[in-house]
Amino acid sequence: MPDLDSVVREISEEMAARADRGAVADYIPELAHVDPGRFGLAVIDADGRLSAGGDSETLFSIQSISKVFTLTLALGMVGDRLWKRVGREPSGNPFNSIVQLERERGVPRNPFINAGAIAVTDVILSGHEPREALGEILRFMQFLAQDQTITIDATVAASEKRTGFRNTALANYMRSFGVIENPVDYTLGVYFHHCAIAMTCRQLAAAGRFLAHNGRNPSTGHSVVSPERARRINAIMLTCGHYDGSGEFAYRVGLPGKSGVGGGILAVAPGRASIAVWSPGLDEAGNSHLGRIALERLTQRMGWSVFGA
Amino acid sequence: MPDLDSVVREISEEMAARADRGAVADYIPELAHVDPGRFGLAVIDADGRLSAGGDSETLFSIQSISKVFTLTLALGMVGDRLWKRVGREPSGNPFNSIVQLERERGVPRNPFINAGAIAVTDVILSGHEPREALGEILRFMQFLAQDQTITIDATVAASEKRTGFRNTALANYMRSFGVIENPVDYTLGVYFHHCAIAMTCRQLAAAGRFLAHNGRNPSTGHSVVSPERARRINAIMLTCGHYDGSGEFAYRVGLPGKSGVGGGILAVAPGRASIAVWSPGLDEAGNSHLGRIALERLTQRMGWSVFGA
Amino acid sequence: MPDLDSVVREISEEMAARADRGAVADYIPELAHVDPGRFGLAVIDADGRLSAGGDSETLFSIQSISKVFTLTLALGMVGDRLWKRVGREPSGNPFNSIVQLERERGVPRNPFINAGAIAVTDVILSGHEPREALGEILRFMQFLAQDQTITIDATVAASEKRTGFRNTALANYMRSFGVIENPVDYTLGVYFHHCAIAMTCRQLAAAGRFLAHNGRNPSTGHSVVSPERARRINAIMLTCGHYDGSGEFAYRVGLPGKSGVGGGILAVAPGRASIAVWSPGLDEAGNSHLGRIALERLTQRMGWSVFGA
Amino acid sequence: MPDLDSVVREISEEMAARADRGAVADYIPELAHVDPGRFGLAVIDADGRLSAGGDSETLFSIQSISKVFTLTLALGMVGDRLWKRVGREPSGNPFNSIVQLERERGVPRNPFINAGAIAVTDVILSGHEPREALGEILRFMQFLAQDQTITIDATVAASEKRTGFRNTALANYMRSFGVIENPVDYTLGVYFHHCAIAMTCRQLAAAGRFLAHNGRNPSTGHSVVSPERARRINAIMLTCGHYDGSGEFAYRVGLPGKSGVGGGILAVAPGRASIAVWSPGLDEAGNSHLGRIALERLTQRMGWSVFGA
């Protein structure tokens, strides 16, 4: 097997040099200012060893990657009852589509499209003040990454709140079917804020380690979820983690992964490593263009695809 | 690790005893006669050892499972040019939906829904007589399973031809966009016949071995496809192999798999085993009810999920 | 020709006696309290003579019938520029569908479905305070009906505001495409209030007279719109005035008409009469059940269908 | 009122001179050869007087205009039982859309979209040989127009049969739901042939006279349908006669009408006149571009809109 440090370094150098970088998301004004030239990669193996390259220590907005952690948290709170409020099938539609909601009476297809993540946030919020629910999500991220410095970028949250008309539409639409139970403003407030958590590639890779190792962080020994639940979250990441580009990601990369419009991707190589990559330019389906290419290189060279050595 | 023979035996006994068996497909009249009480399971490990239980030696109609093999064959013929005629994203719709075709100008979402498999069949047919194309598909199955006795059940093919109005609609619809190039009757003739191939669980598990072992049958040493192509076919099976129940199959079983309305499922545990299961009763999404449960048991007990040990 | 007074009296008596009355709308809580046994009918002919029967002097919530008058007002303000913000084709979908908006980039199909009427309200609001815009709409209604006593039922408006999640979704969705330009709360505030205008059948028939007489009230001599514009508003009422039951209304009644979920219908017999009917029970498409039947009787007996004597 | 002869002459001259002519249909190869410069107009008033201009004596393919006459014939055969097989609401979709069929279990929205007209043709065919059914349709046209010379253009029918994949898809799709009962080839054979009837503007205006005069041809005294049925057919023409441009036609022209992709339009001014116009260039919704403009001129100048004098 090739040396992981060398592979990470070579990929980081190749990506830094590429001219094709996709387009930075502009639907959240605050994100549109990010330099498209950035690229970071961090890989933490089963022994806890970090291999990192590029801008792996730069903070970026994790956006929809937070959906993996809110799903984990909500499953811990209500267990399989969660699946009455959200499905777990690929949607076959873009990340912010409302068409499927009308056809299926307000129940979102899966927890990784916007509507589904808003429904999951509503479950976490139930019976709490928005501030408390948000605190719980943030502390969970800090605990997973073993890093108390992780915070929310309030400017990004405010920017999305000002312009998030489509998410407001989705939330009100689900509320009309009773799938959202709390005041829409509360649920969206928590949603916009957990999407605005800022992390580095290194922190994100650390936070995802429990998914790579049967629900348990092998360095701290903390058991986050059962092995079965870890496998199941990985399954949803693989089938639904990249919106209407999930099939393409599985085909090219072959790992469970979740992308965000901030340009980050968290990927999981079961038994082997937790991986975070970041490059702000997006492809047409809203996933990081260079992030996906970097992960394709990495799994090919390391033989990490779940679909064959 | 538990003993595979014991596990297969115990699962087969449990499944034979269960009362919940789903509903036998009735949209193809000939298939409606099959006894819902049947259950068969065959597992062939990396060393070529067979563990089998129940009706593993009974012939059944493989139906849509043939789509895995026609995809493999078409990729061998035209390579990545195939992807101009068919996508590789989950559809978010039932197996025979025509809605997505209208929205996306006749290009089916993936090769494992009916429309996609008809388009793949049209590629295989190009430049040949239907009889030749069908012969090629059948010889490919015989070669993969190392078994010259495999044949087509002409009664099933005729039954589907007489009643396959919806598939005829799909094919004509794609023809109107130029996605189907041959006379519709020719393409559908080949399609209905390769769906009517009859195999046993043992034969089917044997035919799928190349997908479990990087494109190569470890017993014969025959290389069928490159390792990369094997991984990619597995990826499509995982994201699209069970129609609108693909997310559920990944969530519960955690293996690439392809189902057929005859009640069979082919599943692939990369590096470990090729698995075929058969039970004719279907769930709401059109996938074998007990077949899926049996595979869930098997992967749990053997620790074979691709998403974690 | 039969005597109009007798016809109106006989229809009113028949409707009062019928047991099939449809179901009172319950999605706006305040409307659910209305007695389903009520029925009123008022017809004003070209000479200004009133023929009335049943509860023709009882106030009811005009709801979507207000859309005819806001359309008239908005056309007066911006003319044909209005058609950049809303279409004029039947939608083929229920009154509150959001599917079509996604497919057509936030531009509603016509001004008589909820989304379209919200867009029209947004046009009227532009550059004004909500209170001013609402005052203008109310004064327009009072002017048309020549009745200063017409007011808004604030309880109904508040009830809809509290529960109007689906309209809030529609408005935010259009806002995300830029089709709504004002703050969503402002536009919806005006919309919910003009839907809550309370009128009697007599007042409503009076308000609609300009549409029956080439844009001009023949009693007052006031010219409200040009003859061409009156014809065109009538045309939109005929093709789009009853949501997904517009074809049925044209087929059975044969007059331009607009229904509201309060159970009212305004119908226009060009050159002959302005007609208002009210019965709170609705059919499946959300239109007054007895109201439609009463209008069918009326046009048959008077020979008023626009499609033949 | 202006002189009809002068109005018809002036409109014909204006249309002959216009440069904007739309695009000739190319999806039926045989129709693509027609000269886009042609324009014809024929109006027959209540007294049977003909006013004609331009190429009013040139044969053209009536295409979907035949749907008005097959609807009339089918209603005569099975009465209101027809409405179990087809609806009467605008579709909100293009003429050849299949999406609505999937959502509504194979029942077409109305008899004037392709799917609906194929279902109506299937009703006419029931219990007959295709040749007999077609003979009946042709004789009905000859009777209505009082002209035995009317025939079918077999070349156009054959051209459409060779290329009508989308209609074949629609028919097979409805067959899968049992909405089509005869062999698909038979039903389509009759459908393609009645669409290929060739007529002049004068013949077509003559054939449509019963719809303008309460179901009865005032010159021959033949009663074709009851007054109620004539009104109802006119209502469906107004709401559904121009596919997804029906609202626009009602808005601009204000008459019941039915268009065909051959460039013809039949329009009905109840109590006043039957009108046929022909110009082969089509607009985006598939309706004759100059035909619609000519009718808009005609109704404005004659004051014939059903929506006001």
Domains and CATH numbers, chain C: 4-58+201-217+232-302 (3.40.710.10), 64-197 (3.40.710.10)
User: Does the pLDDT value for residue D158 go beyond 80?
Assistant: yes
Which pLDDT tens digit goes with each residue over B259-298? Answer: 999 999 999 999 999 999 999 999 998 999 999 999 999 9
Burial, D47: exposed, middle or buried (Cβ in 10 Å; 0-12, 13-18, 19+)? exposed
Please report which residue ranges of A146-216 form alpha helices under DSSP H: 154-163, 165-176, 184-195, 201-207, 209-212
Dist CA D263 CA A243 (whole Å) = 44
> What gap in Å lies between CA A108 and CA A198, rounded to an integer?
26
Active-site residue (options: A34, A191, A253, A288): A191
Q: A127 versus A59: which is more confidently predicted?
A: A59
**Calpha distance C213→A147 (Å, rounded):** 76
The whole-number pLDDT of residue D132 equals: 97
- Among all residues of chain D, which has the CA nearest to that of C110? D247
The C-alpha atoms of residue D216 and residue D298 are separated, in whole angstroms, by 24
Q: How far apart are the C-alpha atoms of D294 and D309, rounded to whole Å?
A: 18
Hey, are the CB atoms on A92 and B88 less than 8 Å from each other?
no
Crossing angle of helices C66-78 and C227-240, rounded to 10°: 140
- The pLDDT confidence band at residue D217, using thresholds 50, 70 and 90, is very high
A92 CB neighbours in chain B (<8 A) are 89-93, 100, 109
- Phi/psi of residue D37, nearest 5 degrees: -80, -5
To the nearest whole number, what is the mean pLDDT of chain A? 95
C-alpha C25/C-alpha D3 separation (Å) is 52
- Judged by a CB distance cut-off of 8 A, whether residue D26 touches chain B is no
Q: Which residues in chain C have their CB less than 8 angstroms from residue D234's CB?
A: 307-308
Q: Which residue has the higher pLDDT, D18 or D99?
A: D18
Question: How confident is the model over A271-306, as pLDDT tens digits?
Answer: 999 999 999 999 998 999 999 999 999 999 999 999
The pLDDT of residue D290: 98
Confidence label for C96 from pLDDT (cuts 50, 70 and 90): low
Q: For chain C, which chains pass the contact test of at least 3 CB pairs under 8 Å?
A: A, D
CA distances from A40 to A133, A176, A266, B155 (A): 30, 42, 12, 59
Cβ–Cβ below 8 Å for D214 and C307: no
Q: Which percentage of chain D shows pLDDT scores above 90?
A: 88
Percent pLDDT > 90 in chain C is 88
Mean pLDDT of the C199-219 span: 97
- Cα separation of B63 and B34, whole Å? 14
Which of the residues B34, B191, B224, B268 is marked catalytic? B191
User: For B60-102, what is each residue's pLDDT tens digit?
Assistant: 999 999 999 999 999 999 999 999 999 999 987 766 677 788 8
From the candidates C43, C179, C253, C261, give the one annotated as an active-site residue: C261
Is pLDDT at B57 greater than 80 in this prediction? yes
Question: If you average pLDDT over residues A168-179, what whole number do you get?
Answer: 95
Residue C113 confidence (pLDDT): 93
Give residue D95's pLDDT band: very low, low, confident or very high (50, 70, 90): low
Q: Which chains touch A (3 or more CB pairs under 8 A)?
A: B, C
The model's confidence at residue D92, banded by pLDDT at 50, 70 and 90, is: confident
Give the percent of chain A with pLDDT over 90. 88
Decide if A120 is catalytic: no
What is chain C's mean pLDDT, rounded?
A: 95
**Order of strands, edge to edge, in the sheet holding A273-278?**
A50-54, A40-45, A273-278, A264-269, A257-259
The answer to whether D193 contacts chain B (CB < 8 Å) is no
Listed residue (A290, A306, A300) closest to A53, CA to CA: A290
Cα–Cα dist D200/D40, whole Å: 9
Asked whether the beta carbons of residue B109 and residue A87 sit closer than 8 angstroms, the reply is no
Does the pLDDT of residue C309 top 90, yes or no? no
Whether the CB of B299 is below 8 Å from some CB of chain A: the reply is no
- Residue C12 above 90 pLDDT? yes
Is the pLDDT at A96 greater than 70, yes or no? Answer: no
Nearest alpha carbon to residue B254 among B212, B303, B205, B221? B303
Mutate to test the interface with C, among D80, D101, D251 (most CBs of C within 10 A): D251
C29 touches chain A (CB under 8 A): no
Minimal C-alpha gap between B236 and chain A (Å): 7
- Tell me: pLDDT of D96 over 70: no
Question: Is C81 exposed, middle or buried (CB count within 10 Å of its CB: 0-12, 13-18, 19+)?
Answer: exposed
pLDDT in tens, C221-237: 999 999 999 999 999 99
Q: pLDDT value at position B96?
A: 65
Closest partner CB to B309 (pick from A214, A235, A300) = A214
D172 and B184: CB-CB below 8 Å? no
pLDDT at C127: 84
Which of C97, C103, C173 has its CB closest to that of A169? C173
Choice among B130-144, B254-268, C32-46, D15-29 with the minimum mean pLDDT: D15-29
ipTM for the predicted complex comes to 0.95
In this predicted structure, the answer to whether residue A128 has a pLDDT above a threshold of 80 is: yes
Residue D98 banded pLDDT, cuts 50, 70, 90: confident
Euclidean distance between CA atoms A95 and A24, whole angstroms: 16
CB contact under 8 A, D91 and C88: no
Average confidence (pLDDT) over D251-269: 97
| D68, D191, D259, D288: the active-site residue | D191
Best C75, C89, C97 residue to mutate vs chain D (most D CBs within 10 Å):
C89
pLDDT at B28: 81
Q: Do D168 and B165 touch (CB under 8 A)?
A: no
C257 and chain D in contact, CB less than 8 A: no
- Check if C172 contacts A (Cβ < 8 Å): yes
Sign of CA dihedral A262, A263, A267, A272: negative
* Chain centroid, CA B130 distance in Å: 21
Region B192-218: mean pLDDT is 98
Which residues in C lie closer than 8 A to residue A184 (C-beta atoms)?
165, 168
pLDDT in the model for residue A95: 62
Q: Which of D287, D233, D281, D224 is nearest to D256 (CA)?
A: D233
Residue B17's Cβ-count burial label (10 Å; 0-12, 13-18, 19+) is: exposed
